[in-house]
Amino acid sequence: MTEKYMEASLGMPLGQVLALIQEGIMKKCTYFGVKTYKSPIDAWIYQEIIFETQPDVILEIGNANGGSGLLLAHLCDLMGKGRVICVDIDHKKIHKKAKNHPRITFIEGDACACFQSVAKTISPDERVLVIEDSAHTYENTLNVLRRYCGLIKPGDYFIVEDGICHHGLETGPNPGPYEAIEDFARENSDFEIDRSRERYFITWNPKGYLKRKGNPGLS
């Protein structure tokens, strides 16, 4: 990564800035020493949402090395409540720090295929936050949205990651998450795209903060 510094790069186009941040995320970003493919700006938004909504369950679909799952579990530790369910087709790369955290449960398999197994671990009265970060193809993202949206209660969130694919960065599937989000929002009037969660301007999840309409506590 070619080092560039803010005070000498104020005239740089945003597209170049995003590419530099992406390079840093993919090559150097860690959480508690665990490789983590996550924008730190969006991670901050996650903790805001988690504190505000107080989920009983955080369901992360797509886990890589387990760094973001560990972050979510630590946030639960700080709140004194909540647990994390990590779903992926392969958990061989999960770091032992994540594997050993008592709040994290790992379920291996395709997210849509194992939905019933996941749903059985969640009580009907539990509030759930879902974070989709798996294949990023249009078809997979839309299928996951359709399959898991029923777990979200009014006032809670379904976060879809990496809508930045071809909407800020020329990388990933095209069409991808961004287009799947738009189509899901058009077909499901229970959810609205909450763009207030993009208030720090740079996000890897444009249009990806989906909030179920209605008052918290109502289903």
Give residue-wise pLDDT tens across range 131-177.
Answer: 999 999 999 999 999 999 999 999 999 999 999 999 999 999 999 99
Name the band, by pLDDT with cuts 50, 70 and 90, for residue 1: low
Name the band, by pLDDT with cuts 50, 70 and 90, for residue 8: confident
- SS3 at position 107: strand
Render 81-104 in DSSP notation, one character per residue: --EEEEEES--TT--HHHHT-TTE
Q: What pLDDT does residue 216 have?
A: 79
Residues 108, 110: Cα–Cα separation, whole Å: 7
Residues 4, 22: Cα–Cα separation, whole Å: 13
Tell me the per-residue pLDDT of 174-210, one tens digit each, with 9 for 90 and over: 999 999 999 999 999 999 999 999 999 999 999 999 9
Q: What pLDDT does residue 121 have?
A: 96
Q: What pLDDT does residue 5 have?
A: 84
Q: Which residues have C-beta within 8 Å of that of residue 47, sequence separation ≥ 6?
A: 75
- pLDDT > 60? residue 107: yes
Q: What pLDDT does residue 18 have?
A: 96
Tell me the per-residue pLDDT of 15-74, one tens digit each, with 9 for 90 and over: 999 999 999 999 999 999 999 999 999 999 999 999 999 999 999 999 999 999 999 999
Q: What pLDDT does residue 218 have?
A: 58
Residues 50, 56: Cα–Cα separation, whole Å: 10
In degrees and rounded to multiples of 5, residue 168 shows phi and psi of 145, -40
Q: What pLDDT does residue 219 have?
A: 55
Tell me the per-residue pLDDT of 69-89, one tens digit each, with 9 for 90 and over: 999 999 999 999 999 999 999
Is the CATH number 3.40.50.150 carried by domain 38-212? yes
Render 170-184 in DSSP notation, one character per residue: S-S-SS-HHHHHHHH
Q: How many separate helices (H) and strands (E) can be counted in the chain?
A: 7, 9
Average pLDDT of the residues in 94-104: 98
How is the chain split into domains, by residue range? 38-212
- pLDDT > 80? residue 2: no
Whether omega before 40 lies within 30 degrees of 0, making that bond cis, reads: no
Q: What is the separation of C-alpha 173 from the centre of its chain, rounded to a whole number of angstroms?
A: 17
Q: What pLDDT does residue 175 have?
A: 97
